[in-house]
Amino acid sequence: MQLKAIHVVYANWCPHCMPTTVEAMKKASQTLGVPIKLYDIDTEAVKEADRLVAEHGDWSEDYLIPQVFLEYPDGKIEHVLTGYSEDVKLTARGVANLLSRLGVQP
């Protein structure tokens, strides 16, 4: 599977995001040799985050974070993860499953 980039919509205050998802996706980015694009919803990046989630993710007015997207060389963007609101352990399991799918050791 060839990737162009990994995109992560997150917030620094969210335990499902930091470090659970963001650090794991940074590792995946390094291992796979592709750039990672981080969109902190508490900064100006929220505009791009909202667009990405609205067009490709799990959109609602108050959408869940983190959300992870894979971008392919042909321009296709695939939504691959939304954090679970119930428990950080569920989000961590989802992240581990995504890393496995990408061929990256958790």
Residue 45 to residue 34: CA distance in whole angstroms: 20
Residue 33 to residue 15: CA distance in whole angstroms: 26
- Looking at the structure of the chain, the number of domains it has is 1
Instruction: Give 34-76 pLDDT, tens digit per residue.
Output: 999 999 999 999 999 999 999 999 999 999 999 999 999 999 9
Domain with 18 in it: 5-102
Residue 12 to residue 34: CA distance in whole angstroms: 22
Residue 101 to residue 105: CA distance in whole angstroms: 10
Ordered alpha helix ranges (H), 1-106: 22-32, 46-56, 88-102
Q: In CATH, what number is assigned to the domain containing residue 79?
A: 3.40.30.10
pLDDT, average across residues 18-41:
98
For position 88, what pLDDT does the model report? 97
Per the prediction, the chain carries an average pLDDT of: 97
